[in-house]
Structure 1
């Protein structure tokens, strides 16, 4: 099967998985916010940041090294498999040792039990992780999608049931453990049929992969720090309750980026890796990815600014109303992040994780200093505005020091790839403003539905008028 056909099939399956996951996440969020407190939400945010860091250390960038390397033999894979399991066990014990320190740092005793419990995933994950990576390398996203759908359903059901029994933060912990355990089991069952790890362990034979992985891992750590340092700082300086308000807003903003973007970016990395030596084709396809992401994400974030106002009275309980303005401000961050994500796939495909590491190191230092100062002198709204300013700097400098370095001077292609979706989104927003001024509707679920339908209609009509070729391409691929 040729690469284009594989990519199209991968997009279809990943889209299916993502849409269902998106629906489940909205369902879970809608139920959970009415049953647990902002403080529990804030504590879980700290837990997941700690777990996320540990996960990066456990993998050490080896997963992406497997995808990036064209030829890798069974002995190398076997060594990496056992290395991953050893890493998982070490992370499990290290987390247990440092958990009391984390709990003391945030002055939240419940953190100790929550982190200790969820750390069990590091014993589980390594047994299925390599099988998932190999499926991704071969673009077999149909199998990945089915497994993720099953695991997401199970995790959501457990979370909601636990929340109804007032387990607070532990309802989220149990849901995460269920999701991870089922996913790992299914990847193991499917993957073991194609690749059975041998009892073979010689780290010297995978030293090149480990070196690549370490650079990439360093880049991921800094990326993760940049994405989550605000949670760590707010949790320490402003408390778990305020962090819970901020986390809910962040979750809403991150939903499109975390659920929609991976449909494209997860496929982009292995696809880019196969064409990395042809600069012209790589450049063309990179900006196709930017175009697709902007067409999907821009109307969502522009529309969210208007629609979210109604949520304060009809969806969110009074305890969450403070998060509404934060969601509106952070929508700008979400929009910019949505077109910045693919640069990671580009760097890894070109084997230049070192560039990403250096860029993110400077970015991390700048962001940490800026957010600490902001947390001391500003309220939550001020911190959100600072986050927007940081996101603007990020998108500008990532082009100058990363994209331009790998693909050459392509600012015109960059602007062209987002211009039509930007114009269409602005026109959609103007229409919604006129609707609100003329009809002055009361905030309600009906108003939300009308805004979504009206905005969506204007956006689609505008896209059809200004970019007919893109629409025809989508229709052709959906039929093919």
Structure 2
């Protein structure tokens, strides 16, 4: 395990650097765009495009690219068949979207988004090609090269978007920026993993790939339905301006998910899969990973929830203040997502078929509640419905399945106990300091510092105990790892 541990540790460090650099850059560019160029309506049109794009990305390569990470043997033997399958299916999905774009945009309450859909979703084909060299980098824990390519993607994406926004292109600036950045990423991934872009066909191997990938693709589609159903409801019932406000709140609430989960999920599938056949090591690794993930996500969730309104006004301006209440509900969802996604990834490594039933239940429970709450309470009701379903109806199901896999509920609760107590103390401290000092940078900064100082004693013993144990490659594994299509704006709503 020593060599594997070394690779996982190095890959995790580069993955963390990648996440921090891109998220900080995305945040900064989003502030510029939201304050100087775009309002809720433009953001809403872009959110419609991202919604459809995310759905297509969940299916475009039918889950077969994960075989490049999971399967043993010579990767170059089956990579050509994977490339042929993923490219063909991605192209077919894009053609279908191109034809139906006017109808899709109208159903989502934004008929003006037709051109946005057709342009932005060209990235589906790019992703279908890039997934092969990208999977090779993930398989070999080559996160250094992925970090370089992702940063180049971000730089080009941001530059093109801001220049076009300044030229008053409107919401299409987002689409052109994403497309330019992902073309650069495709070239970069192909150079970082040479020899992987060769087409070929093996009929028998194709059947095995589909049998492996389709359960994961179906579960991934259900996951996307869960994550994006709220956008469908808001857009179709309340319109693009309300969707822009809701998308801003959702993206801010996803900061913990992006910063914590994304760091692990770039490197975890290859490492986590190696423990799938050892139940005891798998259970120990999951509990340990859960402790770290929860401890890292609680501070962001608490501060965003307690200081939602002043943070939104300070960062993005007064026109976005209507997203504050929705943000407070959605940070609850964000925390549940961090923990449930870890459970999802653990189950994916050993019982892929179970995920479809669990995700289907989540989606089934969401539909009537979100529609009802949207009609009665608007975007705030949709956000509250998301948190309610995730916390009350879904999390207990995941706990039950984990228990059946040998991961005891008591161990899960103990892993969350000290971070939860620390989060309560942190919230009280941050709220008290902010009330005493007031709004503005100084008030927010001191509230954050005070909350962090109060929180650290609760989790520091946990961190020390984990650091003294032998390192195990037990971070969570993603159901899919598509090409990251981050626009030069607030973090986009893709899983």
TM-score category of the 2 structures, normalised to the smaller one: over 0.9
Higher relative contact order (CA 8 A, sep 6+): 2
1:416 aligns with 2:418: no
RMSD: 2.1
Q: Distance in 2 between matches of 1:103 and 1:65?
A: 34
Pair 279,405 (structure 1): closer, same or farther in 2 beyond 3 Å: same
Check 1:368–1:48 CA distance in 2 against 1; reply closer, same or farther (3 A cut): same
The answer to whether residue 287 in structure 2 is matched with residue 291 in structure 1 is no
Aligned to 2:447: 451
Tell me the equivalent position of 2:433. Answer: 435
Q: Does 1:183 align with 2:185?
A: yes
Q: Identify the range of structure 1 (183-192 vs 224-233) with the bigger mean alpha-carbon deviation.
A: 183-192
> What TM-score, normalized by structure 1, do the two folds share?
0.93
Q: Residue in 2 aligned with 1:371? A: 370
Contact 1:28 1:159 in 2 (8 A): no
- 1:286 deviation in Å? 1.0
CA distance in 1, matches of 2:33, 2:184: 22
Deviation at 1:268, TM superposition (A): 2.4
Is residue 51 of structure 2 the alignment partner of residue 53 of structure 1?
Answer: no
Partner of 2:383: 384
C-alpha deviation, 1:273, in angstroms: 0.6
Could you tell me how far 1:372 is from its partner in structure 2? 1.5
Partners of 2:257 and 2:337 within 8 A in 1: yes
Which residue in 2 is equivalent to 1:247? 247
Q: Deviations over 1:432-452 (max 9, x none)?
A: 233345xx2221111111112
**Paired residues, what number?**
469
The equivalent of 2:346 in structure 1 is: 346
Q: In the TM superposition, what whole-angstrom CA distance separates every residue of 1:422-480 from its partner, at most 9, and x where no partner exists?
A: 1222222222233345xx222111111111222222222333356542365699x9xxx
Aligned-residue offset at 1:409? 5.2
Q: Which one of 42, 45, 65 corresponds to residue 44 of structure 2?
A: 42
Does 67-76 or 136-145 show the bigger shift? Answer: 67-76
Give the conservation status (yes or no) of the 8 Å contact 2:434–2:446: no
TM-score normalised by the chain length of structure 2: 0.90
Distance 1:466 1:188, change over 3 A: closer
Q: Distance in 2 between matches of 1:310 and 1:409?
A: 40
Checking the alignment, whether the CA contact within 8 Å between 2:105 and 2:114 is kept in structure 1 is: yes
Superposed counterparts of 1:108-127, under 5 Å: 108-127=110-129
- Distance, in Å, in 1 between the alignment partners of 2:449 and 2:306 is 13
**Unaligned stretches of 5+ in structure 1?**
none
Mapping for residues 136-155 of structure 1, pairs under 5 Å: 136-155=138-157
State the partner residue of 2:267: 267
Per-residue CA deviation, residues 80-99 of structure 1 (Å, 9 max, x unaligned), is: 11111111221221111110
